[in-house]
Amino acid sequence: MTQSNAHDPNMKIVSVSRFVPAPANEIFDLLADPKKHAVIDGSGSVKSALESAPQRLALGATFGMSMKIVAPYRITNTVVEFVESKQIAWQHFGGHIWRYILEPTESGTTVTEQFSYATSRHPLGMKLFGYVSRNERSIHKTLANLAAYFGAKN
């Protein structure tokens, strides 16, 4: 397990990378299926995709998720970056972006998950209320879940 992380407060981005023992296209297929997001979610807040969610995401696609942080709620995301088997990102009304970057290696894929709050409507609030550090911890758990999904031992 190789893992690295960085938090660049100037760019307002948290970035964590981890090796996953699977081909990039298989990992991307999982990430592009909103119905599987709850399987790998490290935050514990993603419960399920709404029935209206597409089978597979594409650039510009919107998908709703049932969530729970203290109380249940629903959120709609829009795919804002999409490069088949390489990169996918989505954003909701708060403006921040969740991004996955896949880099194939000889024996699997280095997966980088990023939480970018540069485009957030309230970047200072994100930091002051602890969302940035909580999201960094959740990213580590999500990447561990993703690696485990593809058979890696933690």
CA distance 126 to 50: 26
Backbone φ and ψ for 124, nearest 5 degrees, come out as -65, -40
CA atoms within 13 A on the CB side of 15: 13
Q: Order of strands, edge to edge, in the sheet holding 62-69?
A: 3-8, 13-20, 108-116, 97-105, 87-91, 71-83, 62-69, 46-49
**Under 8 Å between Cβ of 63 and 57:** yes
pLDDT value of residue 12: 85
Long-range contacts formed by 148-152: CB under 8 A, 24+ apart: 149/30, 149/39, 149/40, 150/20, 150/21, 150/22, 150/26, 150/27, 150/108, 151/21, 151/22, 152/1, 152/19, 152/20, 152/21
Is residue 31 classed as helix, strand or coil in its secondary structure? helix
pTM, entire model = 0.90
- Answer whether CATH 3.20.20.70 is correct for domain 3-149: no
Q: What pLDDT score does 30 carry?
A: 98
Q: What is the pLDDT of residue 5?
A: 59
> Contact, 36 vs 47, CB < 8 A?
no
Q: What is the pLDDT of residue 154?
A: 61
The residues that bridge with 100 in the sheet, in sequence order, are: 88, 113
Going residue by residue through the chain, which has 154 residues, state the pLDDT in tens, using 9 for 90 and above.
545 556 555 678 889 999 999 999 999 999 999 999 999 999 999 999 999 999 999 999 999 999 998 899 999 999 999 999 999 999 998 889 999 999 999 999 999 999 988 888 876 777 777 777 888 999 999 999 999 999 977 6
- The pair of structure tokens assigned to 62 is 């919107």
